């Protein structure tokens, strides 16, 4: 193959209807003599699937349709080999097959459907939104991918730019007329030429609201009514101004103009945009029967672009009629304050309350006092004229103010009742004499000198002095102790008590009773005599008040100092004895646990173990069984007495002497224990163990001898007579069994 023919760039229309025998290009080597010695081979992308080559002629054929949008080009390699030797006759030749585009794809709006919003009344040319379509064809080749936009539906309100797809306002539109539009945009490829593909998209355009409409009342005149009984805050009626705008643009405030704003008030219901007229002050049918008010509605937000068209507000007239009602009596005052001197005699006039029927001045009214169950009735009222009088004298020192509730009731309609508060102040009268504020404890030493102060006194007065209290102190004229003591008025509502002589003797006089005269500055002035008790004390340099108090107490009982010392000594001895008893009881309570609950024992077994005898004794039984057992304080199930004694009886047959007399004695006592109904519910068993008969050491048991240094008797059978008597005596008193 020629070097200049090693590579080709072959264009082929995609999807072109060509048969499999159609050759769109051919490869030929310069060495090809057309004698069939050369063979052409095709390799690379699409070889064998999309393309194949005639191995004899070198012509390349297309096997199936090509899609440029899937693969725009293919890279192939061609070979020429000798058919006989299978060796290449020329180097491999690489070439590219490029698929040429045709218009086989429609435009597509990938972002649809579209929704846009634009303010109402926007000027012409205002941009609303932009739509974009895409075409899969090759934009660099031909016009297959060149799009053109047009407006299918939406005239004359909107327009679209043909090349960009930008939608614009074509005229001003009012949201209140129509607030939503559907616009259809078409996109064509091949610049709209015949045979072009097209696609459409729908754009929903909403008009947003602006405040371009003022509020308007639907009625130019409203009629309302309100009862004169209606309380403050009552809803009189509602007005409504319609605004064609929505949201915040429709929000408005209502106002009341003219002079009726002090009687009525208006508020805005933010949900319904209604104006609610409220009663700000109670109305009176007898005073004024009709009101005419002017109500204004004003937008909260105003667009300055529309102010030239006029103010964004509206007004209406509201006429309100006052309805007559049967009202309760009305007091001339809501609260009355009256005064009366304390101590005024029963029936004294305190004051007068007055009420009238607002509907009819000639209608009679009855008065009464609301008496609380827990308060004493101190006042009464004349039911016809409202005169309040006392029912008993008042005491300012008990209560300086009295609160009374007075009612007024219509005679023709008892259900109509009103109330008023009456506050009665009780004025003070000087009816309480001054007195000591407390009981003074005054002491004087026996060695006191003349002119020594022993007490400072003051006074209190229950009365209320407008100018302030001032008290005067002096001795009563009948005072017989004025030579022993003197009183000095300090002119500050206090006075000092001084000694009038030197030296006092308790033997001569233990107490002095000084009558102190106190006078107040009231009108008229009142005086009182208060007794000051002075106790004489035995002291060195200063008064020992503790000793003086108890000395005075014993003196009042008629006891001397020696008797006082004796009484104190007896008291001290009694305390020591009492503490000793308490200590002894505490020690007695610290006993062993066995002594506290001794009654809980039901079986007490006392064992006396003696030393073993001889070989016969050790051969007969295990001597370890006779060792001392410690009594354990344990709660065990109670055994029957008969079974316990029978067990001991069997042991006695093994341990004790083999004596028929002894066995007979045990049997008799066993029967006696079982049949005796007077014995306690528990048993006390004492066990006596004896050595065997072959022991040479002798018995150590106390049963065999009276003293420890006496000779032991080895003749057990001869000595058992007195032992039986001893055992019988123990058993009769303790139910004791010996074995």
Domains in the chain: boundaries: 3-100, 114-208, 216-323, 330-427, 442-558, 598-734
High-pLDDT (> 70) share of the chain, %: 72
Inter-CA distances, 355 with 278, 283, 342, 406, 409, Å: 29, 19, 28, 10, 9
First vs last C-alpha separation in the chain: 148
Determine contact, residues 514/481, Cβ cutoff 8 Å: yes
Tell me which fold the domain 114-208 belongs to.
Answer: Immunoglobulin-like (2.60.40)
The answer to whether 165 touches 132, Cβ cutoff 8 Å, is: yes
Specify the pLDDT at position 117. 93
Confidence of residue 31 (pLDDT cuts 50, 70, 90): confident
Mean pLDDT of the region 45-51: 84
Structure tokens that stand for 575 in this block: 């305390």
Residue 736 has pLDDT above 50, yes or no: no
Q: How far apart are CA 473 and CA 494, in angstroms?
A: 8
pLDDT, tens digit (0-9, with 9 covering 90-100), for 440-463: 989 988 888 889 998 999 999 888
pTM over 0.85: no
- Tally Cβ neighbours within 10 Å of residue 236: 22
| Distance from C-alpha of 269 to C-alpha of 266, rounded to nearest angstrom | 10
Pairing of strands 290-299, 313-323: antiparallel
User: Which segment of 223-237, 330-344, 543-557 scores lowest on mean pLDDT?
Assistant: 543-557
Highest mean pLDDT: which range of 38-42, 132-136, 423-427, 725-729: 423-427
Q: Which CATH number does 442-558 carry?
A: 2.60.40.60
Cα 145 from Cα 136, distance rounded (Å): 7
Q: Are 191 and 224 in contact (CB under 8 A)?
A: no
Angstrom CA distances, 660 to 133, 652, 653, 667, 669, stand at: 140, 12, 10, 11, 14
The label of the residue with tokens 């300090």 reads 490
Backbone angles phi, psi at 591, to 5 degrees: -95, 170
CA distance 122 to 410: 71
pLDDT of residue 71: 84
Q: Across the chain, how many H-helices and E-strands are there?
A: 7, 40
In the DSSP assignment, the letter for residue 64 is: S
Rg (CA), the chain: 68
CA separation, residue 146 to residues 46, 134, 201, 310 (Å): 30, 9, 17, 52
Residue 521: the pLDDT is 85
Question: CA 488 to CA 473: how far, in whole Å?
Answer: 7
Judged against a pLDDT cut of 70, whether residue 12 lies above it is answered with no
Instruction: Please give the pLDDT value at position 441.
Output: 87
CB 14 within 8 A of CB 26: no
Cis bond before residue 454 (omega within 30° of 0): no
- Most confidently modeled of 20-29, 235-244, 617-626, 663-672? 235-244
Cα separation of 464 and 520, whole Å? 11
Between the alpha carbon of residue 523 and those of residues 397, 431, 432, 682, the distances in Å are: 17, 9, 11, 96
Q: Name the DSSP class of 611.
A: -
Q: What is the DSSP letter of 402?
A: E
pLDDT of residue 246: 87
pLDDT at site 522: 82
The Cα 193–Cα 196 span in angstroms is: 6
Q: Tokens representing 632?
A: 């354990």
- Cα(389)–Cα(380) distance, rounded to whole angstroms? 6
Q: Cα–Cα distances in Å, from 481 out to 446, 501, 508, 532, 543?
A: 16, 11, 14, 11, 21
| Residue 669 clears pLDDT 60, i.e. is over it | yes
User: Does residue 524 have a cis peptide bond before it, meaning omega lies within 30 degrees of 0?
Assistant: yes
592 pLDDT more than 90: no
For 268, other C-beta atoms within 10 Å of its C-beta total 17
174 C-beta neighbours (distance < 10 Å), count:
14
Cα–Cα distance measured from residue 64 to residue 512, given in angstroms and rounded to the nearest whole number = 150
pLDDT value at position 692?
A: 45
SS3 (DSSP) at 296: strand
| pLDDT over 90, % of the chain | 30
Q: Is the dihedral of CA 166, 167, 170, 173 positive or negative?
A: negative
How many Å apart are CA 390 and CA 273, to the nearest integer? 60
Q: What is the pLDDT of residues 288-322, one digit of tens each?
A: 899 999 999 998 887 776 666 667 789 999 999 99
**If pLDDT is split at 50, 70 and 90, which confidence band does 377 have?**
confident
Quick check: 453 and 496 in contact, CB under 8 A? yes
CATH for the 330-427 domain, from 2.130.10.10, 2.60.40.60, 3.30.1360.170, 3.30.379.10: 2.60.40.60
Indicate the pairing of strand 290-299 with strand 274-279: unpaired
| Spatial separation of the C-alpha atoms in residues 239 and 298, rounded to whole Å | 13
If you count them, how many residues does the chain have? 739
Distances (CA, A) of 228 to 294, 328, 331, 411: 21, 11, 17, 21
Q: Where are the alpha helices (DSSP H) in 105-199?
A: none
Structure tokens belonging to residue 366: 């009855």
Q: How confident is the model at residue 33 (pLDDT cuts 50, 70, 90)?
A: confident
Between the alpha carbon of residue 81 and those of residues 27, 543, 609, the distances in Å are 13, 152, 137
For residue 260, what are the contacts with CB-CB under 8 A and spacing of at least 6?
291, 292, 293
- Spatial separation of the C-alpha atoms in residues 249 and 211, rounded to whole Å: 5
CB 570 within 8 A of CB 558: no
- When pLDDT is averaged across residues 473-478 and rounded to a whole number, the result is 82
Any idea of the CA torsion for 108, 110, 112, 117, to the nearest 10 degrees?
-110
The residue that leads in pLDDT, 191 or 659, is 191
CA distance 405 to 392: 18
- Is 11 a residue whose pLDDT tops 80? no
Asked if omega into 290 is within 30° of 0 (cis), the reply is: no
> What secondary structure, in 3-state letters, does 3-42 show?
HHHCCCEEEEECCCCCCCCCEEEECCCCCCCCCCCEEEEE
Average pLDDT, the chain: 77
Separation CA 185–CA 201 (nearest Å): 5
CA distance 613 to 410: 128
Q: Do domains 114-208 and 442-558 have the same CATH topology?
A: yes
Rounded Cα distance between 507 and 546, Å, is: 19
**DSSP-based three-state secondary structure for 80:** strand
**Helix intervals (H) in 640-735:** 641-655, 660-675, 716-734
- Report which of residues 727 and 275 the model is more confident about: 275
Rounded distance between C-alpha atoms, residue 99 and residue 74, angstroms = 8
733 CB burial (10 A radius; 0-12, 13-18, 19+): exposed
pLDDT range class, residue 641, cuts 50, 70, 90: very low
* Res 710: pLDDT: 44
Contact yes or no for 387/349 (Cβ under 8 A): yes
The CATH number of 3-100 is which of 3.40.50.1860, 3.30.70.1560, 2.60.40.60, 3.30.710.10?
Answer: 2.60.40.60
Judge whether 236 and 322 are in contact, CB under 8 Å: no
Task: Domain 216-323: state its class.
Answer: mainly beta
């Amino acid at each position: 193959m020629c070097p200049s023919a090693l590579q080709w760039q072959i264009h082929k229309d995609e999807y072109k209807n060509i048969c499999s025998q159609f050759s769109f290009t051919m490869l030929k080597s310069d060495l090809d003599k057309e004698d069939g010695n050369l063979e052409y081979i095709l390799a690379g992308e699409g070889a064998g699937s999309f393309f194949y080559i005639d191995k004899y002629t070198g012509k390349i054929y297309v096997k199936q349709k090509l899609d440029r949008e899937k693969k725009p080009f293919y890279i192939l390699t061609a070979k020429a080999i000798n058919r006989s030797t299978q060796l290449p006759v020329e180097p491999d030749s690489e070439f590219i097959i490029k698929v040429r585009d045709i218009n086989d794809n429609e435009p597509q709006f990938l972002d649809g459907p579209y929704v846009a919003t634009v303010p109402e009344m926007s000027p012409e040319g205002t941009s609303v939104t932009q739509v974009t379509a895409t075409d899969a064809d090759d934009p660099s080749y031909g016009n297959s991918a060149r799009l053109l936009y047009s407006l299918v539906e939406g005239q004359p309100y909107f327009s679209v730019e043909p090349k960009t797809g930008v939608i614009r306002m074509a005229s001003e539109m009012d949201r209140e007329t129509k607030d939503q539009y559907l616009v259809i945009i078409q996109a064509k490829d091949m610049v709209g030429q015949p045979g072009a593909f097209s696609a459409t998209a729908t754009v929903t355009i909403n008009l947003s609201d602006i405040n371009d409409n003022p509020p308007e009342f639907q009625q130019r005149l409203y009629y309302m009514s309100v009862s004169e009984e209606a309380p403050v805050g009552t809803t009189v009626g509602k007005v409504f101004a319609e605004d064609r705008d929505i949201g915040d643009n429709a929000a408005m405030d209502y106002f009341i103009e003219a002079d009726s704003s002090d009687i009525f008030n208006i508020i805005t219901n933010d949900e319904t945009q209604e104006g609610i007229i409220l009663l700000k002050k109670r109305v009176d049918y007898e005073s004024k029967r009709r009101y005419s008010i002017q109500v204004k509605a004003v937008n909260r937000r105003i667009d300055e672009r529309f102010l030239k068209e006029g103010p964004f507000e509206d007004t209406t007239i509201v006429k309100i009629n006052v309805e007559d009602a049967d009202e309760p009596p009305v007091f001339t005052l809501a609260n009355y304050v009256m005064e009366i001197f304390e101590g005024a005699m029963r029936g004294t006039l305190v004051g007068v309350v007055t009420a009238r029927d607002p509907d009819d001045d000639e209608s009679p009214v009855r008065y009464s006092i609301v008496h609380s169950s827990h308060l004493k009735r101190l006042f009464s009222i004349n039911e016809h004229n409202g005169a309040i009088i006392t029912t008993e004298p008042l005491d300012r020192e008990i209560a300086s103010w009295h609160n009374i509730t007075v009612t007024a009731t219509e005679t023709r309609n008892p259900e109509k009742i009103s109330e008023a508060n009456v506050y009665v102040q009780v004025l003070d009268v000087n009816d309480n004499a001054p007195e000591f504020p407390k009981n003074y404890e005054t002491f004087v030493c026996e060695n006191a000198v003349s002119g020594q102060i022993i007490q400072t006194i003051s006074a209190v007065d229950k009365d209320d002095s407008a100018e302030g209290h001032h008290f005067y102190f002096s001795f009563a004229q009948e005072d017989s102790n004025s030579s022993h003591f003197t009183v000095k008025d300090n002119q500050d509502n206090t006075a000092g008590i001084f000694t009038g002589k030197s030296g006092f003797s308790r033997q001569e006089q233990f107490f002095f009773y000084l009558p102190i005269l106190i006078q107040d500055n009231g009108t008229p002035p009142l005086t009182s005599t208060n007794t000051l008790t002075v106790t004489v004390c035995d002291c060195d340099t200063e008064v020992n008040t503790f000793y003086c108090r108890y000395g005075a107490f014993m003196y009042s009982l008629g006891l001397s100092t020696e008797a006082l010392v004796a009484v104190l000594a007896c008291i001290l001895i009694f305390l020591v004895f009492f503490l000793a008893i308490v200590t002894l009881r505490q020690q007695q309570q610290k006993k062993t646990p066995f002594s506290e609950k001794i009654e809980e024992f039901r079986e007490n077994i006392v064992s006396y173990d003696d030393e073993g005898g001889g070989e016969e004794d050790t051969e007969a039984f295990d001597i370890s069984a006779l060792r001392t057992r410690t009594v354990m304080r344990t709660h065990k199930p109670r055994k029957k007495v008969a079974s316990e004694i029978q067990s001991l009886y069997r042991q006695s047959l093994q341990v004790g002497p083999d004596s028929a007399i002894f066995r007979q004695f045990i049997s008799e006592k066993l029967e006696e224990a079982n049949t005796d109904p007077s014995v306690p519910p528990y048993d006390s068993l004492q066990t006596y163990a004896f050595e065997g008969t072959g022991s040479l050491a002798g018995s150590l048991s106390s049963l065999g001898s009276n003293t420890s240094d006496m000779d032991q008797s080895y003749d057990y059978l001869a000595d058992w007579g007195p032992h039986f008597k001893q055992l019988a005596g123990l058993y009769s008193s303790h139910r004791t069994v010996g074995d």
